[in-house]
Amino acid sequence: MIKSNGNEMSDIMKEIIIDTLIDAVKLIPFLFLAFLIIELIEHKFNKETKKIISKSGNFGPLIGSIMGLFPQCGFSIMATNLYTTRIITYGTLIAIYLSTSDEMLPIMLSNNTDIIIILQILSVKFLVGIIFGFLIDFIIKKKNRKIKLDYHICEDENCHCEKGIVLSSLKHTFNIILFIIIITFILNIAIYYLGDETIEKLFMKNNIFAPFISSLIGLIPNCASSVIITELYLNGVISFGTTIAGLLTGSGVAILVLFKSNKDLKENFKILLTVYGIGSFIGILVEVFNVLL
């Protein structure tokens, strides 16, 4: 009897592993193509983007929110460096953090997600970035500091973008696929053994407090945060509002760079709490709006 149960467990595990790998392999060509296009755009407009952001002045939050929509490798990091040297404003930095979609867009595109849903998410992030960016700049007036830091995105991120967009795209694809395999595998096991309802309770699906958890996950200084949140949403584990909350706070490794480059720890934590508070607040608003509808 024990042996039979052991064999059954082994068969279940094999099935879960095979399903996970098949799902991941299907995504590889779409992810690679998405990253190739993103890398092409980034390398073609990287210098121009920096110039535009640097000279945006009072329109920084608007320009930053537009630029942040493109999931460029290192864009939020570049913005962090520009803020540390006081080339851009506090509000512009927050706007870019909020609008940055990190790995959400390529994952959703590779999963053939409804374009309307993608546009809704991007629109919310864009509008939130603009509104709070301008609001923060209006409330907080900061003096510019003429401090220059020698910071190089490619060296710090080790993305090998200097060796060409194909190698860089392959590296990004490999890294994201690894995350997807791990997260999907854990989700598949959890769903099988715990059931959909239990998983939804754990992540407080359709609960007004769920955005607080999602926003916290979004702050993880790694692309894993956007991968986790996107996969949870695509698997129906979390709601749209909770997804928005997590994606608003997910700016990749930019937060790590902020703490590394900016020596004012009090200011860094204030930025962190600002992004978290906005993400949670907007997530709750979206949840309430969906409930009322």
Per-residue pLDDT tens digits for 171-182: 877 877 787 788
Q: In terms of Cα–Cα distance, which of 20, 32, 71, 38 is closest to 179? A: 20
pLDDT level of residue 45 (50, 70, 90 thresholds): low
CA distance 18 to 15: 5
Predicted pLDDT at 100: 86
pLDDT level of residue 202 (50, 70, 90 thresholds): low
CA distance 87 to 96: 14
pLDDT level of residue 154 (50, 70, 90 thresholds): very low
Q: pTM here?
A: 0.70
What domain range is 9 assigned to? 2-292
Percentage with pLDDT > 90 across the chain: 23
Residue 149, phi then psi, degrees to nearest 5: -115, 140
Q: Is the pLDDT at 150 greater than 70, yes or no?
A: no
Total domains in the chain come to 1
